[in-house]
Structure 1
Amino acid sequence: MGCYCSKFTSCCFISEHNGPVNEAKNAENEEKGEISDLPSFREFSVEQLRIATSGFAFENIVSEHGEKAPNVVYKGKMDNQRRIAVKRFNRSAWPDARQFMEEAKAVGQLRNHRMANLIGCCCEGDERLLVAEFMPHETLAKHLFHWEAQPMKWAMRLRVALYIAEALEYCTSKGRALYHDLNAYRIVFDYDCNPRLSCFGLMKNSRDGKSYSTNLAFTPPEYLRTGRVTPESVFYSFGTLLLDLLSGKHIPPSHALDLIKDRNLQMLTDSCLEGQFSTDGGTELVRLASRCLQYEPRERPNPKSLVAALIPLQKETEVPSHTLMGIPHGEEVLSLSALGEACLRMDLTAIHEIIEKLGYKDDEGVTTELSFQMWTNQMQDTLNSKKKGDAAFRHKDFRVAIECYTQFIDVGTMMSPTVFGRRSLSHLMNDMPEEALNDAVQAQVISPVWHIASYLQASALFALGRENEAQIALKEGSILEEKRTTNS
């Protein structure tokens, strides 16, 4: 969910009369995996959430979105600096306001350390929004299918399987056994890099409960027959998740079952895992997956038996999740702006959106210089090159943008950091990271305190695989941006 977690101070939400009874109750809750330091579920206004997400800004989108995923998740920040994830539903998803509120309040009663918990909702006019803890380290799909630095380790994959099984066991024990469309995008990672189950899947998206949206090749057989999901359907989906973890790919269950039947486990196993796990561990996970993928719902395991089967498989149990994931921990994680986060995840489209919205506001002093020199024919040609470059940049024709900005730069009479910045991003868009790095460095030479130059350097360094240098540039950009915000 997109990412947001909660490290809230307990003094804000726990009674002042904390005696032995409360301490005992908290200890009991922790044993069950329940969280006692989260705020109570509450209703938000649209305006509060609009402010928190900077007007539902494009750069704050943290979920897959488009025609196939009309319900968008945004990151946001409340007045008290608590970070949140806000899911904004398609206007037709919840025509019945009362049903939406009832569902949200029921899900909002759940509190578990294996879940990204729901902390509020909004139901105003046609707007239907959910507010949850923010999870900063993205989705399982990102780390499993689209990894950049390193593939997910076998021990971490086993931990994901166990923690999600525990989350489903908790939901079942609380009377919320139906989880809609369980998949790798529904699993997110908190500040400690522990996997959590998104609470959003506990909300059905329509009055009749028909909320399944994955490719039909991965849909439980009973859904194809009846158009409805049951608690047993959830464990069919859990079986597909186990296949994802084992293979590092999204394999249709029918194909996977054929491979299992032919005992062709090598074809099923992620080649990146070679040497990381014993045959016994892999065989047991395959066995669990095939049990979950049984055609008859009644033959599938329940969550309690899944948890019991997964516990003995756990490896490196003393190693923290952030270490297994290779991600800096706690205070080491930078608090990044939308632009900083876009650079960190190499989301060039989001970077382009932000730079385009900014325009040339950061060209301090350049505008005056331009106005003085417009009277010469040569300068007019130069300005035309820049205008053509801007138009090409706006329309994402980055090759033409490079050509036009190069003509402007080569004249050499005016030094514009933003032109170098735009050409830097254009180079990145054309898979030219060395050229992008050179331009970003030149932009910072012209304007040493321009934070975007540092961020673009970070993006180019990430593209070049120079991870440590990229992190340093990212931190410098964050510091410069914070100073700029403080002074403005």
Structure 2
Amino acid sequence: MVYVHTLLLFLSWVWVFDQFGLARGDITTARFLRDPETLESREANFKFGFFSPVNSTNRYVGIWYNKEGADQLEVVWVANRDNPLNDSSGVIRISGNGNLQLLDGQNNSIWSTNVTANNEVNSNFAQILDTGNLVLLSNASENTMWQSFDHPTNSFLLRMVLTSDGNASTKPMLTSWKNASNPSNGLFTAGIYHRRLSEFFIWDGDRPYWRSGPWDGRLFMGVRAMYYSAQDVGFRLENENDGTFSLSFSSASQSVTEHYVLTYDGMLTQREWEDDRGDWNVAWQSLQFECDVYGKCGEFGSCNSNNSPICSCLRGFEPRNNQEWSAGNWSDGCIRRTPLLQCGTVGGREDGFLRLRNVKVPDNAARLESDDEGDCQRQCLGNCSCSAYTYNFGFGCMIWSENLIDIQEFASAGVDLFTRVAHSELAGETNKWKVTVAVTVILGTAVLVVFLYSLWRWLHRRHAGKITLNKESNWHNNMVGARLSDAEFQDLPLMKFESLVLATDNFSESKKLGQGGFGPVYKGTFEDGQEVAVKRLSRASGQGQQEFMNEVVVISKLQNRNLVRLLGCCVEGEEKLLVYEYMPNKSLDALLFDPSNREHLDWKKRFNIIKAISRGLLYLHRDSRLRIIHRDLKASNILLDNDLNPKISDFGMARIFESNQDQGDTKRIVGTYGYMSPEYAMEGRFSEKSDVYSFGVLLLEIVSGRRNSSFKDEESMSLLGHAWKLWNEGDILSLIDPAVSALDFQAEILRCIQVGLLSVQEFPEDRPSITTVVSMIESEITDLPRPTQPGFTQRRIASWNGTQQNGRDCYSVNGVSISSLGGR
């Protein structure tokens, strides 16, 4: 009887699902999805299922944001966009060959994933992830057979990586809808187009409609908004080894609701969900002004949305067709007033250049190796076909050998463009310059006379016989005596020693937070209540002065939410101090390796810490103004704020890389054994991959709750060896800290362990870049490469005596780092 009731209850639930379209979990060979049923992602960010666009009765299968109250569905992916259903008889199922398939009422295949069948087709299943990615998985091999992120339609989502071979003739990354009611392929496409440099294009059919400007390694040079928000929202474009290009973007908030859409009218828009309004907001769009349209003013024409008319010819040029130009048709562009000289100098005269400030550079630039701006100009002048050049600090020299098109002037941002003109065109500019100089000199002289007279009257009234140096001048002289230049302090506030004495109660022992090789660290409180941490260089420290100088130069130029903030410094006489934001929850090792405090770090907090550290490292390696190699990443250099948000600290060992530099060498090996990569500890070679190795060690420590060096008396010799052993024995779950409840997050934790093992592989070329690490950590895909053996698993770390290796001085400066602090 009990069995009968159970059967009836089960059938009643099946009826409820069928009648009301409730989400039922994954799609399997035994579980279909019938119109109008939908699936929800685990955290209900997205829905997958059947829908009809506004003002349409056609039925489509797609993915959309699960947002109540929005005016209409925000659809981000459509399966059968060019093959709609005309009724509600559609069914989504796993087919006999293991593919995800859409059938109509007559069992005709409308759409399929079309992947090659495997031997375990009955174990395939499909699910919608919280990233908006629809995946087809093999339960037997745990491999991803297919994913919608590899087949985008009109939307670009966070954690999606778009790939392209950079050729405009191949399939583009995004394709617009035909109109608001029809998701079939529209007129506009978008993607990366690579000739000499990489740019993002929108095409109207075969014609360029909008372009982003060249990628300079940090931003697209023709997108104004990126100059102001590159720290918060940044694209990353990478040239892979096989010649393809991968494009992704990151967000400061990491909210999956931020995304980009190529609209049916050819606009690339950035959209964000606003909880207060309960609707979508357009944060940015590609064509905000008429000048944003590609080639609006034709060849050698410049477009400025603040002018009327918006188009003008470059200096030294005139309209090709005056009648058309005057009528507002600028498509014919401009031509030179005076032809250029033939290559070389004629009659002691040579061509010159005129500057156009703050522009979106023309299309089809070529990059040259150049030492400085002067060398860039000489190379252009020596090239008979060169028509313009620009030199952008950090990116280098670009030249143009064809007609200049799609130039746009900005009020600010952009770069300065130097266009080549005949010598005679420079004469008018020289006369204008002479007039400007003369007027400036006359006005400057008048102002100077008035100022000197006022100064004399003031000194006379004050009876000042002489001017003495004040305390601030002495302070500056002290800094010069300490060999610190003004340039190194230009981004950093200077604080008075007296104010720090008061803030720390004259560096009282009760205010002391810790002691390192650099010197003691104190908690300070200013009069306005602001709490700070004050590092004081010990006069007896031989290491500290170099590390002090390095930290000032490096961290004063960095601003990121995942890096500890340097608030100021003080140099007076023998005193040298650094002032940081105060971090009340100590360093990560104080919680992670303390059995009494470890319980405060549940998996969600640990995962947040892992993601934040990886994004901080990504900023140092790729997104900051400088390329920084930290060289001392470890648990004690990760500080925690009130909400246990981590921040990377201690940049005394950091090194700055040039934009074209891949690795460095040193005879002074500094850092902490257990976190050092093999090539750095043994040979003094460091690079981005050595930081990735340190991050991998730290990641495995966070997952396991154990120090890498805590296995001294055990067979595994280190945490890395222990993890590698468990991995090969198929018992990797044993690595997880017992204080972590792993049942609900097992897949996430296992992914982190695999990323950790990939990061600590012995050879640097085998380790992923930090960009790839961030992508793997924040993705829900489990199909990751299989790691090879980590470094230092065959030798006992503690047994290495630190004597000279290959003529290099090898020693640990663990004491230099402020790793033994209390609250900070």
Query: 1:273 is matched by which residue type in structure 2?
Result: V
2:607 maps to what in 1?
Answer: 158
- Whether the 8 Å contact between 1:176 and 1:202 is mirrored in structure 2 is no
Q: Structure 1 153/51 Cα, relative in aligned 2: closer, same or farther at 3 Å?
A: same
- The answer as to 2:596 corresponding to 1:182 is no
Out of 203, 206, 212, the position equivalent to 2:670 is: 212
1:262 maps to what in 2?
Answer: 729
- The answer as to 2:656 corresponding to 1:198 is no
- The answer as to 2:592 corresponding to 1:144 is yes
* Residues 195-220 of structure 1 deviation map (CA, whole Å, 9 limit, x = unaligned): 2222545657xx96846342x34431
Out of 750, 755, 766, the position equivalent to 1:288 is: 755
1:60 maps to what in 2?
Answer: 511
- Whether the 8 Å contact between 1:178 and 1:230 is mirrored in structure 2 is yes
Q: Structure 1 151/209 Cα, relative in aligned 2: closer, same or farther at 3 Å?
A: farther
Deviation at 1:263, TM superposition (A): 2.7
2:564 maps to what in 1?
Answer: 116
Deviation at 1:168, TM superposition (A): 0.8
Q: Structure 1 71/261 Cα, relative in aligned 2: closer, same or farther at 3 Å?
A: farther
Q: Structure 1 223/114 Cα, relative in aligned 2: closer, same or farther at 3 Å?
A: same
Out of 529, 543, 549, the position equivalent to 1:93 is: 543
Matches within 5 A, 1:209-358: 210=668, 212-214=670-672, 216-227=673-684, 229-251=686-708, 252=718, 253-312=720-779
1:364 maps to what in 2?
Answer: none
Alpha-carbon distance in structure 1 between the residues aligned to 2:777 and 2:544: 37
**What's the TM-score, normalizing by structure 2?**
0.32
Alpha-carbon distance in structure 2 between the residues aligned to 1:271 and 1:201: 35
Matches within 5 A, 1:401-440: none
* Residues 55-104 of structure 1 deviation map (CA, whole Å, 9 limit, x = unaligned): 222222224x36xx5533222122332211122334312446xx854651
- The answer as to 2:373 corresponding to 1:171 is no
Out of 72, 80, 97, the position equivalent to 2:520 is: 72
- Whether the 8 Å contact between 1:118 and 1:199 is mirrored in structure 2 is no
Query: 1:182 is matched by which residue type in structure 2?
Result: L
Query: 2:542 is matched by which residue type in structure 1?
Result: S
Deviation at 1:267, TM superposition (A): 3.1
Alpha-carbon distance in structure 2 between the residues aligned to 1:24 and 1:304: 19
**Helix, strand or coil at the partner of 1:239:** helix
Q: Structure 1 47/92 Cα, relative in aligned 2: closer, same or farther at 3 Å?
A: farther
**What's the TM-score, normalizing by structure 1?**
0.52
Alpha-carbon distance in structure 1 between the residues aligned to 2:679 and 2:252: 32
Query: 2:530 is matched by which residue type in structure 1?
Result: R
Query: 1:79 is matched by which residue type in structure 2?
Result: E
Deviation at 1:250, TM superposition (A): 0.8
- Whether the 8 Å contact between 2:603 and 2:741 is mirrored in structure 1 is no
Alpha-carbon distance in structure 2 between the residues aligned to 1:250 and 1:53: 33
- Whether the 8 Å contact between 2:519 and 2:544 is mirrored in structure 1 is no
Alpha-carbon distance in structure 2 between the residues aligned to 1:313 and 1:57: 50
Out of 24, 27, 31, the position equivalent to 2:233 is: 31
Q: Structure 1 71/301 Cα, relative in aligned 2: closer, same or farther at 3 Å?
A: farther
Alpha-carbon distance in structure 1 between the residues aligned to 2:667 and 2:493: 24
Alpha-carbon distance in structure 1 between the residues aligned to 2:704 and 2:679: 25
Alpha-carbon distance in structure 1 between the residues aligned to 2:751 and 2:680: 27
Deviation at 1:276, TM superposition (A): 4.3
* Residues 234-271 of structure 1 deviation map (CA, whole Å, 9 limit, x = unaligned): 11110111111110111322333233233331331111
1:452 maps to what in 2?
Answer: none
Q: Structure 1 271/88 Cα, relative in aligned 2: closer, same or farther at 3 Å?
A: same
Alpha-carbon distance in structure 1 between the residues aligned to 2:767 and 2:749: 19
- Whether the 8 Å contact between 2:613 and 2:648 is mirrored in structure 1 is yes
- Whether the 8 Å contact between 1:101 and 1:123 is mirrored in structure 2 is no
Alpha-carbon distance in structure 1 between the residues aligned to 2:736 and 2:763: 26
Structure 2: 5+ residue runs without aligned partners? 1-223, 235-250, 254-489, 656-664, 709-717, 782-819
Query: 2:680 is matched by which residue type in structure 1?
Result: Y
Deviation at 1:191, TM superposition (A): 3.1
Q: Structure 1 120/78 Cα, relative in aligned 2: closer, same or farther at 3 Å?
A: same
Alpha-carbon distance in structure 2 between the residues aligned to 1:23 and 1:229: 35
- Whether the 8 Å contact between 2:758 and 2:767 is mirrored in structure 1 is yes
Percent identity between matched residues is 27
- 179-188 or 80-89, larger mean C-alpha shift: 80-89
Alpha-carbon distance in structure 1 between the residues aligned to 2:575 and 2:685: 26
- Whether the 8 Å contact between 1:40 and 1:119 is mirrored in structure 2 is no
**Helix, strand or coil at the partner of 2:580:** strand
State the Cα RMSD in Å: 3.5
Deviation at 1:40, TM superposition (A): 5.5
Query: 2:233 is matched by which residue type in structure 1?
Result: E
Query: 1:31 is matched by which residue type in structure 2?
Result: V
Query: 2:604 is matched by which residue type in structure 1?
Result: A
2:43 maps to what in 1?
Answer: none
- Whether the 8 Å contact between 1:115 and 1:167 is mirrored in structure 2 is yes
* Residues 369-408 of structure 1 deviation map (CA, whole Å, 9 limit, x = unaligned): xxxxxxxxxxxxxxxxxxxxxxxxxxxxxxxxxxxxxxxx
- Whether the 8 Å contact between 1:87 and 1:131 is mirrored in structure 2 is yes
1:367 maps to what in 2?
Answer: none
Alpha-carbon distance in structure 2 between the residues aligned to 1:209 and 1:72: 27
**Helix, strand or coil at the partner of 1:42:** coil
**Helix, strand or coil at the partner of 2:700:** helix
**Helix, strand or coil at the partner of 2:628:** coil
Q: Structure 1 58/229 Cα, relative in aligned 2: closer, same or farther at 3 Å?
A: farther
Greater relative contact order (Cα 8 A, min sep 6): structure 1 or 2?
1
- Whether the 8 Å contact between 1:140 and 1:185 is mirrored in structure 2 is yes
Structure 1: 5+ residue runs without aligned partners? 1-21, 315-346, 351-488
**Helix, strand or coil at the partner of 2:576:** strand
**Helix, strand or coil at the partner of 2:507:** coil
- Whether the 8 Å contact between 1:139 and 1:184 is mirrored in structure 2 is yes
Query: 2:768 is matched by which residue type in structure 1?
Result: P
Q: Structure 1 230/210 Cα, relative in aligned 2: closer, same or farther at 3 Å?
A: farther
**Helix, strand or coil at the partner of 1:113:** coil
- Whether the 8 Å contact between 2:550 and 2:651 is mirrored in structure 1 is no
2:500 maps to what in 1?
Answer: 49
Alpha-carbon distance in structure 2 between the residues aligned to 1:70 and 1:29: 31
Alpha-carbon distance in structure 2 between the residues aligned to 1:59 and 1:312: 46
Alpha-carbon distance in structure 2 between the residues aligned to 1:58 and 1:289: 40
Give the count of matched residue pairs.
285
Deviation at 1:193, TM superposition (A): 2.9
Q: Structure 1 83/313 Cα, relative in aligned 2: closer, same or farther at 3 Å?
A: farther
Query: 2:700 is matched by which residue type in structure 1?
Result: L
**Helix, strand or coil at the partner of 1:47:** helix
Query: 1:154 is matched by which residue type in structure 2?
Result: W
- Which structure's residues are more often helix, by fraction? 1
Query: 1:47 is matched by which residue type in structure 2?
Result: E
- Whether the 8 Å contact between 2:632 and 2:653 is mirrored in structure 1 is no
1:404 maps to what in 2?
Answer: none
2:433 maps to what in 1?
Answer: none
Q: Rg larger in 1 or in 2?
A: 2
Alpha-carbon distance in structure 2 between the residues aligned to 1:218 and 1:164: 15
- Which structure's residues are more often strand, by fraction? 2
